[in-house]
Amino acid sequence: MTPDPGKYERPDRTTVLAWLRENDPAALEALWLQADTVRRSQVGDAVHLRGLVEVSNHCVRQCTYCGIRAGNREVNRYRMTAEEVVGCALRVAGLGYGTIVIQGGEDFGLTGPWVTDVVTRIKAATPLAVTLSLGERLPDELREWREAGADRYLLRFETSDMALFDRIHPPRHGQSVKRWDLLGRLRDLGYEVGSGVMVGIPGQTWGSLADDVMHFASLDLDMIGVGPYIQHPDTPLATTAAGGPDQVPADATTACKVVALARLVRPDANIPATTALGTIDRAHGRELGLHRGANVVMPNFTPDRYKASYDIYPDKAALGDPGEDLPGTVRELLRRLGRTVGQGQGSRGG
């Protein structure tokens, strides 16, 4: 029976934990169906396309899971010019997308004024919403970028287990910024706020993952990005043994459970079928995400000469591989799934 979309109950932590631990594929069908039903009733069949531009792989941080961490000498570092980024924005807009996502390592070589200039030029030249994802930047910079017209900011909290967070995110100069505080500040500045987690980080427990899901609701997130942890050989975390019996696995099904639960606790959020999900299950990952609560995909518009160097984890999936970044193919995928292409900026509630 199809659940009545008006009637579903938002799961409490006990229910969330029970779903996370559920392993029976037949029982999980009920979770997938509920998430898909709530997705349709709350945000409809439109899938919003966000053009992702990875503007720099320089990074001052030492996150123990990430391939572009400062300590990794194997990376060819690059930083795009403002002209290149604006050029990508024109392409994204020309293809009818509503949003550009400007993402990079925590790179202070992307100076505050440089980002302000790029945002200003994109807002002047296109109707795009501008999403920034540039790490833990200074309050004054975040305010200036918002004033220049940036609409949204993405900063995953990665895990709500603070001991685990501190282990995998060595602070800069011994100062740790509380990401919750920064997310609140972004909200106060008037950004739409996105966050999320990795699923299956070594040391991550079911209980902490249930807490993560409950935080999606308490933070009232506008956007929720969830993907499986993927081991990168040139990082310290690759040599860390995964934890004990309570260890969350880093697989597509578990990541999908978190996507589905995110939809149930934050019914009208924008939730992408992430690249990491498409990487761990190349044949079906994104499609599964879109069937289990997601309503956004983020095709990669990083120029080819830089793409391979944005190596946060190995073998990142292009949308469907050769050529599938082309809009025709994304549209083809959505048509096959019975979904439509989102029009306009695809903001929360609009």
Q: Which residues of this chain interact with ligand 5AD, rule CB under 6 A?
A: 65-66, 156, 158, 198, 227, 229-230, 232, 276, 312-313
Q: Among 69, 129, 76, 73, which residue's Cα sits nearest to residue 105?
A: 69
Min dist. Cβ of residue 24 to ligand 5AD (A): 27
Q: Are 131 and 146 in contact (CB under 8 A)?
A: no
* Identity of the residue, 34 or 159, whose beta carbon is nearer to ligand 5AD in the bound complex: 159
Structure tokens at 73: 């000498």
* Identity of the residue, 93 or 198, whose beta carbon is nearer to ligand 5AD in the bound complex: 198
Min dist. Cβ of residue 198 to ligand 5AD (A): 5
Min dist. Cβ of residue 33 to ligand 5AD (A): 27
Min dist. Cβ of residue 278 to ligand 5AD (A): 12
What is the spatial distance between Cα 211 and Cα 201, in angstroms, rounded to a whole number?
15
Chain centroid to Cα 210, Å, comes to 18
Min dist. Cβ of residue 344 to ligand 5AD (A): 25
Q: Among 263, 265, 280, 257, which residue's Cα sits nearest to residue 206?
A: 257
* Identity of the residue, 233 or 323, whose beta carbon is nearer to ligand 5AD in the bound complex: 233
* Identity of the residue, 30 or 238, whose beta carbon is nearer to ligand 5AD in the bound complex: 238
* Identity of the residue, 97 or 313, whose beta carbon is nearer to ligand 5AD in the bound complex: 313
* Identity of the residue, 98 or 135, whose beta carbon is nearer to ligand 5AD in the bound complex: 135
* Identity of the residue, 151 or 158, whose beta carbon is nearer to ligand 5AD in the bound complex: 158
* Identity of the residue, 38 or 66, whose beta carbon is nearer to ligand 5AD in the bound complex: 66
CB atoms within 10 A of CB 96: 12
Min dist. Cβ of residue 258 to ligand 5AD (A): 12
Collapse the DSSP code of 254 into the 3-class scheme (helix H, G, I; strand E, B; otherwise coil) and give the result: helix
Min dist. Cβ of residue 135 to ligand 5AD (A): 9
Collapse the DSSP code of 296 into the 3-class scheme (helix H, G, I; strand E, B; otherwise coil) and give the result: strand
Give residue for tokens 């995928």.
333
Helix axes 25-43, 252-265, angle to 10 degrees: 40
Q: What string of DSSP letters covers 208-234?
A: HHHHHHHHHHHTT-SEEEEEE----TT
Residues 6+ apart with CB under 8 A from 115: 102, 132, 134, 141, 145
Residues 6+ apart with CB under 8 A from 95: 51, 327
Structure tokens at 276: 């990491």
Min dist. Cβ of residue 208 to ligand 5AD (A): 15
26: amino acid identity, one letter: A
